[in-house]
Amino acid sequence: MPGSILLKNGRVIDPANGIDQIQDVLIAGGRISAVSQPGSLPDQGGVVYDLQGKWVVPGLIDMHVHLREPGQEYKETIETGTRAAAAGGFTAVAAMPNTKPVNDNQTVTVFILAKAAEAGFARVYPVGAISSGSNGEHLAEFGELRQAGAVAVTDDGLPVGNSQLMRRALEYAGNHDLLVISHAEEMTLSHGGAMNDGALATRLGLRGIPHVAEEIMVYRDLALAEFTGRPIHIAHVSTRESLSLIRRAKEKGVAVTAETAPHYFTLTEKAVDGYNTLAKMNPPLRTEADVVAVCEALRDGTLDAIATDHAPHGELDKDREFDLAANGIIGLETAVPLTLQLVRENQLDARRMMELLSVNPARILGVPGGTLSVGAPADITVIDPEKRFVFTEESILSKSRNSPFLGWELQGKAVLTILEGRITWQENGFSS
């Protein structure tokens, strides 16, 4: 067992317990052993941090990452990906199944969990495939995936084009208490597209992906969730109309949750101009009106979570013709400052930020965390909301460098990440 850690004088933001005040937190035996008035807790001879001006929050949980292992270790491994997670303030990540081979069976799930345990930087929650090989034809073995440790299923990266298969997945997932995650994309509309459809795509001569390609599938999956009475989670929501569909479904009582990614509230399609493949992703970056709608939905509860869709790619995948370049960006190490930007703009308050990045992901996935309750595992993130830094390639811990935020001056950073009482990340220059 790791020794005790005393976190003194930090601003404890723990929405699960309705706390937002200066408190001391004592960690012992890998668990939170006390949360109390500053100065009231005895130093048990362990490490002591004075966290004046810092935030002490439940460990962040990223419910949508691509760790690439097995199969594409040149992009990321479970070790490098979870190290990047820890550096970004995350104590847990949900790993999407589009590895090579696809995580459509217990063997791959067990492998992922073993690698994660070996690395020890973050809890990894494997997400299994909906269809075997994610080829959209037959259901994967949900029961064994669940037994092996998967918490959800999705064919993420690809939509489930066959509506009957999606219906059956929702129904059958109920037997095994698995969440179904939808990658909403109507493929006949998005086919061949490389960026958001519109005037900029026309000017660049790139085939567009119209926003209705997302919305049609969001609607279908909401309708199927309502029809089957089973919960659904919509991944990486990017458009205004998708959000109004989700809002209406929630009002009707459909069991839907939804996430967006920091790039969808930070960037617009303009980032693509000049054929910037670092801003190429699926769904594509949209317009200013969509960004405004995403921020609104983060505030009003239409969106439940911020997940990064961390998608590492090598230079060969990105440094090429725009049409042919891979979709996706790394996100674990920029999520905190980009979300804090919304707090600084008074679009979100700190409590809401923690709901989006920790409380709700834990609840949606049905996993531990999201709380600083006494007795809970000590998964804790310390954020310095003032720290300014330039995001450079050299600073990145992920194995890949594909970020549109390279060279940006960012503000706010995880300076200390604690997983079950163990320090998994300590910012350079920050110490006890």
Partner 1 sequence: MDPEYRFSHKHVLGLADLSPEDIQAVLQTAESFKEISARSIKKVPTLRGKTIINFFFEPSTRTRLSFEVAAKRMSADTFNISNSGSSTVKGETLIDTARNLAAMNPDCIILRHPRSGSARLLADHVEVSVINAGDGTHEHPSQGLLDLMTVREAKGGIAGLKIAIIGDIAHSRVAHSNIIGFSKMGATVTVSGPATLIPPGIGELGAQVSRSVMEAVDGADVIMALRIQKERQQDPLFPTLREYAKFFGISQKVVEAASPEAIIMHPGPINRGVELDPKLADGSRSVILEQVTNGVAVRMALIYLIMGGD
Residues of this chain that interact with partner 1 (CB under 8 A) are 197-208, 274-275, 316, 319-324
b/e burial code for range 154-176 (CB count within 10 A of at least 16 → b) = bbbbbbbeeeebbbbbbbbbeeb
To the query of whether residue 304 is one of the catalytic residues in this protein, the response is no
Q: Is 117 exposed, middle or buried (0-12, 13-18, 19+ CB in 10 A)?
A: exposed
Q: What is the torsional sign of CA 31, 34, 35, 39? A: negative
- Amino acid letter, residue 121: F
3-state secondary structure 289-353: HHHHHHHHHHHHCCCCEECCCECCCCHHHHCCCHHHCCCCCCCCCCHHHHHHHHHHCCCCCHHHH
Q: What is the smallest separation between the CB atom of 255 and partner 1, expressed in angstroms?
A: 36
* Nearer to partner 1 among residue 198 and residue 231 (C-beta): 198
Kindly state the smallest distance separating residue 201's Cβ from partner 1, in Å.
7
CB of 315 to partner 1, least distance (A): 10
Residue type, 20: D
Nearest approach in angstroms of CB 100 to partner 1 is 19
**What residue type is 305 in one-letter code?**
A
Tell me the closest approach of the beta carbon of residue 200 to partner 1, in angstroms: 7
Query: Which is nearer to partner 1, 45 or 203 (by Cβ)?
Result: 203
Question: Minimum distance from CB of 276 to partner 1 (Å)?
Answer: 10
Q: Compute the chain's Rg from CA coordinates.
A: 21
Q: Which residue lies nearer to partner 1 by CB, 142 or 322?
A: 322
Shorter beta-carbon distance to partner 1: residue 208 or 262: 208
DSSP 377: B
**Could you give the residue ranges of the DSSP H alpha helices within 355-420?**
360-365
**What's the rounded Cα separation, in Å, for the pair 144 and 213?**
33
- Pick the closer one to partner 1 by CB: 139 or 406: 406
279 CB contacts (<8 Å, ≥6 apart)? 267, 271, 272, 285, 329, 404
- For residue 39, give the 3-state DSSP assignment: coil
CA distances from 226 to 155, 223, 298, 330, 363 (A): 20, 5, 23, 33, 20
Q: Of residues 309, 317, 379, 384, which has the active-site annotation? A: 309
As a whole number of angstroms, the distance between CA 346 and CA 92 comes to 27
Nearer to partner 1, 53 or 205 (CB): 205
Which of residues 206 and 235 has its CB atom nearest to partner 1 in the complex?
206
Active site residues: 309
